[in-house]
Amino acid sequence: MRVLIAEDEKKIADFIKRGLKEEGYAADTVHNGNEALVLAEENPYDLLLLDVMLPGLDGVTVCSRLRASGFTAPILMLTAKDRVEDKVKGLDAGANDYLTKPFAFEELLARIRALLRTKPAEAAALLTAGDIELDLPAHKARLAGKALDLSAKEFSLLEYLVRNKGKTVTRTMIAEHVWDINFDTGTNVIDVYINYLRRKLEKSPAKKIIHTVRGKGYLLKS
């Protein structure tokens, strides 16, 4: 899952980004409302963490403009304002949830998981494809009932492939959903991680799960 963090306090933004990356999310950060609006409109984010008190366009304005432009991903607003009228203003602008600072990172994660579960593609906590099982809340993977030892990035990549099982996904699609905006598309990192997964999933050459579609990308067959 790819998250955009729009937070003007750089230390807070960096803290959230580090924590999300450790949980397997791809995360980008911006520090003003104008940049948040542009990036959210140009990239396929799965969720937006939006501070209310942003320089340039404030968070409520960004939220309202994004909804007007057809942005459908969940928006979680972050703010030091805890008055009921402030929360109502943000929710009326199109936010899905509201978290008051300071907050515990565990609560932020729980709210993110809850918001992502509201999306149709996120409804199931357990994803399956053939013998592959992914327990999303626990970030655990199993193959034919046996635990798979996956890094956070391997888990995220496998999750994206499982969600799109039976469909060809391009390297660009993978980069947009599994890596962040700083990803260097000129590297072979995606191919390297695909090979990591193949070694862990395909115990024999005859049992091919991740197929290369020449000139296009990759296809997971269950």
Cα separation, 15 vs 36, in Å, equals 18
State which H helix or E strand residue 179 sits in.
none
- What percent of the chain has a predicted confidence (pLDDT) above 70? 94
What is residue 206's predicted lDDT score, i.e. its pLDDT? Answer: 53
Tell me yes or no: is domain 126-220 CATH 1.10.10.10: yes
Total-model pTM: 0.66
77: pLDDT strictly greater than 80: yes
* Other CB atoms within 10 Å distance of the CB of residue 61: 15
Cα separation, 136 vs 120, in Å, equals 15
Q: CA–CA distance from 3 to each of 114, 160, 186 (Å)? A: 14, 14, 22
> 3-state DSSP call for residue 55?
coil
pLDDT in tens, 136-162: 777 889 998 889 999 988 998 999 999
56: pLDDT strictly greater than 60: yes
Segment 4-19 shows an average pLDDT of: 93
Domain 2-120 sits in which CATH superfamily? Response regulator (3.40.50.2300)
What is residue 123's predicted lDDT score, i.e. its pLDDT? Answer: 47
Contact between 21 and 181 under an 8 Å Cβ cutoff? The reply is no
What is residue 122's predicted lDDT score, i.e. its pLDDT? Answer: 45
Tokens read off for 92: 């009326």
User: Could you tell me the pLDDT band of residue 124, with boundaries at 50, 70 and 90?
Assistant: low
Cα separation, 1 vs 178, in Å, equals 6
**Residue of higher predicted confidence among 203 and 147:** 147
User: Could you tell me the pLDDT band of residue 118, with boundaries at 50, 70 and 90?
Assistant: low
**Residue of higher predicted confidence among 76 and 127:** 76
Segment 2-23 shows an average pLDDT of: 91
Segment 65-79 shows an average pLDDT of: 91
The domain limits of the chain are 2-120, 126-220
Mean pLDDT for all residues in the chain: 87
**Residue of higher predicted confidence among 207 and 5:** 5
pLDDT in tens, 153-189: 899 899 999 988 999 999 888 888 888 777 776 788 9
193: pLDDT strictly greater than 70: yes
